[in-house]
């Protein structure tokens, strides 16, 4: 964008397969409210050759990220060694993006984009992140963040923070980036960096952990608190179906009580 902001996601072969999460992800942009234009700013980072091949078939901005000696093509089960390596490779990549001077929204592929999120970001924040559960105070570091959706401004504070976050994996072996973030957000180093951190309200940035309660306000819905690709695809399909039904209503009938999410269903099992 004009202010050097890009939207980034990462993709492997399992999630790139036809009729899987990637197709739902792209569809959400196309049917969302004031979201189709954002697709031209979306860069898909493919983690393997097959994901890259599928990406270039359906999207113009694809980048193949090489990681020597590692196969990221298969579904990486939560907290497996491959999953952990994939998550930390992502933090390393985002650190590089910040060093290059780009602001970014990072979004997981299992997030449906239903409205333009930019009006709901905090102008003064360096680092703002979605939550599994939001306690009502966007400045309270006791919120439980979810690394699947965040908006980061490139500056010295965020570059130093991402470097500290990435190095902290060595202090907490066997833990993924989100759990490590939950620990280091209290660290004096973060206060010394001066990072301005804010947490995003689940009314606008919801998920299966804490679904947005108002379709008139929701921007994104994340298949968090859900393990298993098949379950995610099933329930995200319901999200898009419910959104289409909501959007088909006359504007004067789109009240907070007029529509309800059917998801999560399988993600509760």
pLDDT of residue 79: 44
pLDDT of residue 17: 93
Please give the full DSSP string across 143-205, using - where no structure is assigned.
SEEEEEEEEE--SHHHHHHHHHHHHTTTTSTT--HHHHHHHHTTSHHHHHHT--EEE--TTTE
Mean pLDDT of residues grouped by 10 in the chain (269 residues)? 97 92 98 98 95 97 79 47 74 96 98 98 97 97 95 98 95 89 95 97 97 94 94 97 94 80 89
Which residue in this structure is represented by tokens 């004009």?
A: 2
**Domain 5-204: CATH superfamily, name plus number:** Spore Coat Polysaccharide Biosynthesis Protein SpsA; Chain A (3.90.550.10)
pLDDT of residue 106: 97
pLDDT of residue 66: 79
* Cross-strand bridge partners of residue 144: 133
pLDDT of residue 88: 84
pTM (global) more than 0.85: yes
pLDDT of residue 77: 45
pLDDT of residue 192: 97
pLDDT of residue 4: 97
Closest to 86 measured CA to CA, from 45, 116, 141: 45
pLDDT of residue 10: 94
> Which secondary-structure segment (H or E) carries 10?
strand 5-11
pLDDT of residue 80: 53
- What residue spans define the domains of the chain? 5-204
pLDDT of residue 269: 60
Residues 110, 232 contacting (CB under 8 angstroms): yes
* Cross-strand bridge partners of residue 111: 222
Residues 23, 98 contacting (CB under 8 angstroms): no
């Amino acid at each position: 964008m004009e202010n050097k902001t890009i939207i980034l996601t990462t993709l492997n072969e399992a999630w790139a397969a036809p009729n899987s999460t990637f197709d739902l992800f792209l569809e959400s942009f196309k049917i969302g409210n004031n979201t189709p234009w954002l697709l031209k700013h979306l860069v898909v980072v493919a983690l393997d050759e097959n994901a890259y091949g599928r990406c270039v078939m359906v999207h113009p901005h694809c980048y193949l990220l090489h990681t020597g000696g590692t196969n990221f093509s298969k579904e990486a089960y939560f907290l497996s060694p491959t999953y952990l390596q994939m998550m930390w490779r992502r933090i390393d990549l985002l650190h590089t993006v910040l060093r290059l001077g780009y602001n970014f929204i990072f979004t997981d592929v299992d997030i449906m984009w239903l409205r333009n999120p930019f009006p709901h970001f905090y102008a003064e924040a360096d680092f703002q992140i979605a939550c599994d559960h939001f306690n009502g105070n966007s400045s309270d570091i006791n919120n439980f963040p979810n690394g699947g959706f965040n908006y980061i401004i490139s500056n010295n504070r965020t570059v130093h923070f991402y470097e500290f976050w990435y190095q902290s994996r060595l202090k907490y072996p066997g833990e993924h980036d989100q759990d490590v973030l939950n620990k280091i957000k209290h660290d004096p180093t973060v206060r010394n960096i001066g990072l301005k951190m804010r947490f995003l309200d689940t009314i606008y940035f919801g998920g299966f952990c804490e679904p947005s309660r108002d379709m008139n306000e929701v921007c994104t819905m994340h298949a968090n608190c859900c393990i298993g690709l098949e379950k995610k695809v099933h329930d995200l399909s319901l999200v898009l179906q419910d959104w289409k039904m909501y959007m088909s209503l006359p504007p004067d009938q789109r009240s907070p009580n007029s529509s309800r999410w059917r998801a999560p269903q399988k993600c509760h099992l």
